[in-house]
Amino acid sequence: MKILYNEVKEAVDIDHVLVFIVGNKNDMYLNEQVKKNVAEEYTKSINGTYRCVSALKSTGIKELFEYVGQSLLKVEARESNGDDLMKPRSNKEFSLKKDESKTPKKRKCC
């Protein structure tokens, strides 16, 4: 979570980016790997929005997309007033690169 956020932060002016942290499997809260309060605290510290959903039970997903859509409409309204909210920090192309050193190598057969 923090690594991805830092990569985005390096690529764009983070003050003008909508940040959403989404926890999945809220139906399995007894087995959670990241405690909800920890995720909420972190999200608050980066000025983001936290939502928790269950893909299995389809709970919270519709509300999440509605909230994202409403947030984007607010951004669009501000942009139409002349605010450039997605101003890049540099001319370099934004990309999230997969760390190949952490990916297990596939062995050739036979």
pLDDT digit string (tens) for 59-82? 999 999 999 999 989 888 877 776
- Find all residues with CB under 8 Å of 14, minimum gap 6, and list them: 8, 46
User: Do the domain assignments include residue 109?
Assistant: no
* Structure-block tokens of residue 43: 């999200």
User: Do the domain assignments include residue 24?
Assistant: yes
Please state the pTM of the whole predicted model. Answer: 0.61
Per the structure, the complete domain to which residue 54 belongs is given by 19-79
Q: What's the mean pLDDT in 26-44?
A: 83
pLDDT category at 96 given cuts 50, 70, 90 is very low
| Three-point CA angle 89, 94, 97, nearest 5° | 135
| Three-point CA angle 14, 69, 73, nearest 5° | 75
Q: How many CB atoms lie within 10 A of CB 82?
A: 6
Domain count, the chain: 1
